[in-house]
Structures are given as C-alpha cells and as structure tokens.
Structure 1
Amino acid sequence: MAKKTKGKNSVESVAETLCNFSRFLCDIVISVYLFVILAVLPLYNRGYAQIGTDKENFFIKTMTYAGKCLLPVFVLWLILRLIVAKQKQELPEFRTIPKSIWQALNTTDKFAALYWIAVVMSYVFTRYREEALWGTASWRMGMWTQLGAVIVYFMTSRMWQRNDWIVILTLPVSTIVFFLGYMNKFGLCLVDKEIINSSFISTVGNINWYCGYLVTVLFGGVYLLWWMGSEITWKRALLMGYVTIGFASLVTQGSSSGVVTLAVMLFVLFGMSVKDGGKMECFWQEMTLLSVACLITYILRSCNVLSQELPMEKVTDILTFSAMSVIMTIVSVVVLWLVHTSNNRNHYRGNLFWGIYRILCVALPVVSVALLAFILANTLLGGKLTSFLTETAGDGGSNWLMFSAAWGSNRGATWSAGASCFWEADLLHKIFGVGPDCMYAFLSNEASPELQNMVYDFFYGNRLTNAHNEWLTILVDIGVLGLVSYAGMMISVIRNFLHAGKKSMLVGACGFCVLAYTVNNMFSFQQVMNISTVFVIMGIGENLRRSARD
C-alpha cells in the first residue's frame, strides 16, 4: 500500500513539475513580448517616409510571432494544470466550471471578455471581412489587433512572473524618445534629415501617434514622482529629470489633445493631494518642473538658440513664448515654498486647498456647460454672438466659439462624420458595428452621398479611418455592445488601479497611464504605438495588483 501511494505521489510530482516548467516558458514568451513593445517598438525607425507602415508591420510581426510561441506552451500548461487539479481533487464538476471561471473574474476582466466577444461578433456581422481581419491599410486596428490586445491583458495579468526590470526599462527608453521629440521641434538631433516637417516627431513619427505614446507613458513617471515623497534622493532626482524632459516635449509637441490631457491630469493629481501636506508639496514640485520646462524653452526661443524651430501651435506659444512661463514659474515656486514651510511647522493649510478644489469641482462643470450652451447658440445664430471678436481679432479670435467642420483642429468634421456613420448604419450594425476598423470601408460603400461628399471635400480625398475620438470610433466600428464593454473595461481599470495605488505606487502609476491614455483619446484615436503600450500597462498593473492583494 505504501509503494502505491509513493508511486502516485511521484506521478503527481512529475505532473506538477512539468506544469511549473510550462508556466515558466509562458513567462519567457510574455517577457520577450513586453520587452519588444516597451523598449524596441518606440525606438524602431527606418525613416519617416514609411514610418507608419514600418511600425505597423513590426508590431503585427511581433504580435504574430508571440502568439505562435505562446499558444502551444499555454495549451500545454492548461492541460497539465487540469491534470494536477484532478490529481489533487481540486477540479470542480464539469457543469460548474463556467460559473467558477466567471466568478473568478473581476469587473475589468468581465468587461474585457465582453469586449472580446463584441469584436468577434462585429467581425461575424460585418460586410467587409477582408478589411476587418487586420484593419485598414497603414492603420491595422482590425479584429486581430483588438483580440490580441485583450489576450495580452489576460496573459500578462495572469501568467507573467513579475520581471520588474521590464517596467523600469520603460523610463530610459521613453526618455530618449521624449528628448528627441523636444529637440526635433527645433530642427536639432533630427531622426530623419531628409524629411523636416512639423507633422513628424522623434522615432514615433506622426504627431498624433507621438502624443498618444507620450501621454500614455509620461504620466506614469509623474505619478511615481508624486508618490515617492518630497525628499530628494538619487531616484527622485532622475525622475525629476525624466518628468521635466517629458513636460518640455509635451508642451511643444503640437497636438491640442496633449495639452488638454496635461490640464486634466494635473487637476486630478491636485485633487488627490489636497488632504495630505506631503503630497501637496510633491504636486507643487511637479508644477515647478512644468513651469521650468516652459521657462527654459522660452529662454532658448527668445535668444534664437533654437533658430530652426518648426511652426508651433498658439497654446504652445502662450506656454513657451510669452510671459506666461515666467508667471507660472513664480507662482509655482512661491506656493511650493509656502506649502513646504507650513509642512515643516506641522501647520499645513489643507482646508484652504480642499476649499479651492471643491470650488473648482463645481465651477469647471458649470463653466463647461455654459460654454457649450454659448457655442450651440452662437452656431445656431450664425456667429452673431462673437461677431465683435471677429472684427477685432480676425477669424482666429472666435472660430472655437462656433461649431463647424474646422472646429477643434477639424474635430468638428471628424466627429460629425463618425456620428453620421453610426446614425446611417442599420439596427444590426448599430448594435455590433460596421466591422473592426471598417469606418472608411463603410464611408466609401454605404454612406449617403451627402456624407461622402462632405468627407471628400473637407479632407481633399484623403481617407477618414476614424472619428478622432476613440469611443466614437468604437461605437461606429464595434457598435453599442463594443462601446459599453470597452468603456466599462477602461473605467474599471482606472478605478481599481488608482484605489490600489494607495498601497502600491507601480499599480497607481499604471492607473495614471491608462487615465491619461483615455483622456487623450477623447480627442484622438487608437494606433500601433498607444494601443500596444496601454494594454501591456493594463496587464502589468493588474498583475501587480493581484500580487499585492494576495
């Protein structure tokens, strides 16, 4: 009897050893994928002429090879895990397995699974399956990209073995990207000397692609610096340099969505700091870094050190080529000094900052609603409410106060086109979408002549592949089911990560990255650089959160 028991234990030991080894192989594949996405893809560049296509092909090959390597070892691990569970009598009855799996998922997991299903259903019901498989050429946000992103989240959150050096590697890599992006705006350290254009930045290329990557990564560093406390150490000194370079690149990169994201993220960080004097001091340290980044740029531009600078946006000129940078620096330094001295005296004026924050929480929505009402009224009246501004400042003085196709750097046209696509789709395709990354195909084949003419005339015949609003684009491409599941996934991730960030700075940093990505993409879109990065960050954050909880 003893020999039989010993033999049984030996079999269980072999099965468990093989199970652990297959899990180790899964970890290697996932780690290599994370390394390529976080450290190689941002720097990969063969020149600006075909950089979008080059990045797209590199990403697709990376995802395809990783999938081919991961699938067999994951299936092997799954089989061995079931064998071990059966041997240990841990396997539930077959009819209860689906329920057990569903109960083991958190809110984010459930929304992610529903989004995965929504993407598949969108592909099943689309009229453009060839287009929907990988997506529109040079964009490639089709079914495989969407499904792969969700799989990356689940695999990283469950199977990754916590090689934290991969996370740390992101900082030096993105520092290089940010520095090149900042210098490129002034004709220095050119990545591609044959093409000098304000639309191409750093090793990422397209300005919208660059901004999407920048905010998704930078605000993780902003959160880490805030979380680590106000005491200066060598780690904080390096992070301060990182954040300063990132801020300098952000305010000069030229995309309006990046400036909006900066304002929103700083407001959120301010709200998270009001009850803690130490955190408030860290917040004003970061405000000082932002102001210094603007001031240094102002000095360089004023002294003509950066004589080859490319055209800047109005907001960029206000922040980096006017007295605003000086005022911001003075205010930030003064408030930082006041908070620091009050903390040293244990007399932090938390009630004052809390009161300011509550006033802003009420005032900002009221002002926003009032502004939207004014824009609506002014639009209906044909611009009569701002005619005096037009007379004194020209069309640029009031064009943002009247909604039109050109409003918000042409967001008026793209948003109108996206909304019209959804409205013109039939009920089935409102629910499931016209197909992953198939907005352009729908516009070309099914849209009304009026909509086609508007898009053609306004964009001079160029393809309109998205609505320059991620959620609106998902509504068109993957339907109501896709939007509800995707929005639920992103909102729950942000909520879970920021809540867990009270105990784990890395999880909180991941939450800040996802929040910045989401805010930016209210005015922008999914593309190879940001969607690949954000789903990796979501997987890492959930992995760290689960580890901290266990």
Structure 2
Amino acid sequence: MTLYVASYLMISRFWKAKEWVLDVFLVSGMIVCFVGITDYFRMDVLNLHKYIAHEEWDIFTSTIGNINMYTGYVALILGASAAWFAIAKSRIRVIWCYLCMVISFFAIILGRSDNAYLALAALFGFLPFLLFRSKTGMKRYLLMLATFGTVVLCIIQMNQAYKDTVIGLDSLFQTLAEFNGFLYVVAGLWAIYAAVYILIKKSRNKNDEVGPVVMYGWAGLLILSVLVLGFLLFDANVAGNAARYGSLGNYLVFDDSWGTGRGYIWRKSMELYKEFTPMHKLFGHGPDTFGILTVTKIGEEMPQRFENAHNEYLQYFMTIGLTGLIAYVVFLGSAIYCMCKNVKTKPYIIGCCFAVICYMTQAVVNISVVIVTPMMWLLLSVGMASGKKRCDE
C-alpha cells in the first residue's frame, strides 16, 4: 500500500499524461482477454496448465491466475474501453474502443466469476449519468446494451455448439442461457437502438444536448431498483420466502454458504471486530494480518482456511480500521469526482475513471492482490495526472 501511494503521488503530480498510455493498457489487456477466452475452450495456448493440478484447471485462467483475480483485471479493461468508446469522437478511436469493449465483454463473461456482475452493473448503472446529457451519448449507451446482449447470445450458441469442449457457464449467465425469450430481448434492444438512431438523425433540432429530465429519470430508476432489491432481500431472508425465487435464491439468501463461504467469513469478521479494543476498532488489527487474526481466534472452527475477507473494504476495515477505511473510500471518491470534472478537456480520462469504478464495485466480493490492484492505482494516477491542473483549482 505504501508503494501504491508513493507511485500515485509521483505519477499524478509530476508525470505529463499522454493518451497513448491507455492504448498500451488496452493492447496488453486484449492479450490477457484472448488467452482467457481460449482457456474457456480448454486450448491452453500458453501451456500453463501443466503447472496446475488437473482438477483445478477450470478455476485458473489466462496470465492472471484464479478466475476471481482474472475477472477483476478484465473489469479494468472493460471499464476503460467501454467508457472511452461512449464519448470518443474520432472514428478510428470509436472503432478501436468498440472492439476492445466487445472482447472484454466476452472475456468477463467467460471468466465465470460472480464479481463480473457487479462490474457490469457499475458500468451500465453509472455511465448514463455522463452519457444521458447528449443524444450521441444515449445512442452509444443503447448500442452498448444491444452489443452486450448479442455477446451473451453468441456465448449461449457457442456453448451449445461446443458443449463437449468448453468449460460451461453457471450462475446468472446460465439462467439467461435457459431463458427462451432472450433472443427476442436482444432483438428488441437492437430495434430500440435503430429507432432512436433514426429519430435523432431525422430530428430538425440539431442541438446534441439533452435536458436534465432524462438523467433525473435514470436516477429515479436506479433508486427504484435499489428499493426493489431491498424488498427481495427482506422477503428472502426475513420473511422466509426464498423458495419463490428459484435459482435466484442462491444470491438473495444471505447465510454462511453465500458466495462460496463469503457469508461465513463476513459474519465472523464482524464478530471479531466487536471484540477489538477501541484503538483496534479505529486503526485496525494491523495491515495484512487478517490471516493471523482468523487462524489464532477461529482457526479450529473454520470450515476452510480464510486468510482474506474476500471483500476489500471489509479487509481494510479489519486491518487498518474504521479510520483507514473511511480515508481510502473518501480518497477514491474524490479522485473519481475530480476525473469526471476533466472529461470534456481530455476524453480519455473517462476510461481511467470507469476502470476505477468497475474495480471498486467488484471489490465488494473480491480481494486486493498484487496482480490486479497496482494496475487500478496506475490508471487512477494517469487519470489524476491528466486533469491535475483543473483539480488543483
């Protein structure tokens, strides 16, 4: 963490930002995604599986490692490419970012980790607050939605055609695959995009700006979605009606088995926190000492060895305390706000911004590792370096 912060200070304060740096990140990211996609087809193009036990082949992929780490990395690529595509003006830039976005859509789905849902939700949920200010932004957003649906549809067809070769989907994406009407949903998305595109093109009003009504409407829709989710959680956990939700009950019912044991370690973490001294509650048990804490306190009862909370924020809450967690979240939030202020002057900053947003969202169920987290800090540093003059004003 000390090295992360030191790197951030040096880059954000002294480096002269260049757009091509983000292109280098996307090019290298495409290699990571390509290897991950081929691993889903069990091709093992880099011949790395010979170093892994056969029964664990399917949970290690690409050049990253565990599928949770892999999709965490792809979330950075997805956030950067999709957001940059959404506001890019150059035709070459639009095509390049669109291709990167499509490939990262394939990669993050075929990664088969549940943290992908959170990254996708953050992308599609928060991007409209920037895009729905213009007609072009609305068109790009609808194109993104239709493209994502098409990617899912292609994956469903590939799974059927190569069912004896591929690893196979599970969880929510498998639910989509079993939904017979999904083809019509995708067709509907393309129809809506085509209709909006034609209406905007034939409109006599050539002003690209859109009033705040659309953005307020989207904010209302998000609030309504949160309320509905809250009701579903209450109904499934408190009211005891989990059975009515079928396979979705695996996500709605929060118990010890939730999230492959995350429910258990999250519950035990809070119990351990209650036993902390006031000083430890404020400043934590110590950086990277979560494993020591669990082994010494609950080692005998743990169903498996937990050396990490599998929630980056809970991990910091336990190890650097309430003070450290608040400082970390406020720092990231202020950095995102600062980057958003500079999007109009340097559009590529939006790629850095949404890469960080996607990372922050998936971190709720993922861990901070030195394979992925330094890249998030690097993109954050680049974004802040690009807009440092206006942020300092």
Task: Specify if TM > 0.5.
Answer: yes
Counterpart selection for 2:27 from 153, 172, 181: 172
Residue matched to 1:228: 88
8 Å CA contact 2:16, 2:386 repeated in 1: no
* Residue 203 of structure 1 pairs with residue 63 of structure 2: yes
8 Å CA contact 1:181, 1:253 repeated in 2: yes
Residue matched to 1:47: none
User: Cα offset for 1:354?
Assistant: 4.6
In 1: Cα distance, 2:368 partner to 2:195 partner: 42
Give SS of 2:320's match.
helix
In 1: Cα distance, 2:324 partner to 2:367 partner: 15
Residue matched to 1:36: none
Residue matched to 2:230: 369
Unpaired runs of 5+ in structure 1? 1-145
Q: Cα deviations across residues 378-436 of structure 1 (Å, max 9, x unaligned)?
A: 4xxxx4x33566xxx6xx56344432101133221121122223222222211111111
User: Cα offset for 1:268?
Assistant: 1.2
* Residue 386 of structure 1 pairs with residue 242 of structure 2: yes
Unpaired runs of 5+ in structure 2? none
In 2: Cα distance, 1:150 partner to 1:325 partner: 45
Q: How has the CA–CA distance of structure 1 residues 326 and 438 changed in structure 2, closer, same or farther, with 3 Å as cutoff?
A: same
Q: Cα deviations across residues 325-379 of structure 1 (Å, max 9, x unaligned)?
A: 523421221111111111112269978855752441331121122223224414x
8 Å CA contact 1:186, 1:307 repeated in 2: no
Q: How has the CA–CA distance of structure 1 residues 163 and 280 changed in structure 2, closer, same or farther, with 3 Å as cutoff?
A: closer
TM-score relative to the length of structure 1: 0.65
Residue matched to 2:124: 266
In 1: Cα distance, 2:20 partner to 2:137 partner: 27
Residue matched to 2:194: 337
Q: How has the CA–CA distance of structure 1 residues 369 and 241 changed in structure 2, closer, same or farther, with 3 Å as cutoff?
A: same
Counterpart selection for 1:289 from 147, 150, 153: 147
8 Å CA contact 1:198, 1:311 repeated in 2: no
User: Cα offset for 1:267?
Assistant: 1.5
**Bigger relative contact order (CA 8 A; separation at least 6):** 2
Residue matched to 1:10: none
Residue matched to 2:263: 412
Q: How has the CA–CA distance of structure 1 residues 307 and 540 changed in structure 2, closer, same or farther, with 3 Å as cutoff?
A: same
Aligned 1:125-524 pairs, distance under 5 A: 146-191=1-46, 192-194=48-50, 195=52, 197-229=57-89, 233-304=91-162, 307-320=164-177, 322-323=179-180, 325-346=182-203, 353-354=214-215, 356-378=217-239, 383=240, 385-387=241-243, 396=247, 398-445=249-296, 447=297, 451-454=298-301, 456-457=302-303, 459=304, 462=305, 464-524=306-366
In 2: Cα distance, 1:497 partner to 1:519 partner: 17
8 Å CA contact 2:12, 2:385 repeated in 1: yes
Overall identity of the aligned pairs, in %: 20
In 1: Cα distance, 2:248 partner to 2:384 partner: 46
In 1: Cα distance, 2:213 partner to 2:157 partner: 34
In 2: Cα distance, 1:372 partner to 1:397 partner: 11
Give SS of 1:412's match.
helix
Give SS of 1:158's match.
helix
8 Å CA contact 1:439, 1:477 repeated in 2: yes
Q: How has the CA–CA distance of structure 1 residues 188 and 316 changed in structure 2, closer, same or farther, with 3 Å as cutoff?
A: farther
In 2: Cα distance, 1:397 partner to 1:339 partner: 33
In 2: Cα distance, 1:311 partner to 1:440 partner: 33
Residue matched to 1:66: none
Give SS of 1:162's match.
coil
Amino acid aligned to 1:431: L
Give SS of 2:254's match.
coil
CA RMSD of aligned residues (A): 2.4
8 Å CA contact 2:36, 2:107 repeated in 1: yes
8 Å CA contact 1:301, 1:321 repeated in 2: no
In 1: Cα distance, 2:18 partner to 2:121 partner: 33
Residue matched to 1:29: none
Task: Figure out how many residues of one structure are paired with residues of the other and give that number.
Answer: 383
Pair member with larger Rg:
1
8 Å CA contact 1:225, 1:236 repeated in 2: yes
In 1: Cα distance, 2:237 partner to 2:227 partner: 15
In 2: Cα distance, 1:339 partner to 1:205 partner: 42
Amino acid aligned to 1:261: A
8 Å CA contact 1:433, 1:476 repeated in 2: yes
Give SS of 2:238's match.
helix
In 2: Cα distance, 1:501 partner to 1:275 partner: 13
Amino acid aligned to 1:417: K
Q: Cα deviations across residues 484-517 of structure 1 (Å, max 9, x unaligned)?
A: 1111111111111122223321222211111111
Amino acid aligned to 1:174: G
Q: Cα deviations across residues 184-219 of structure 1 (Å, max 9, x unaligned)?
A: 112124432424622111111111111111112321
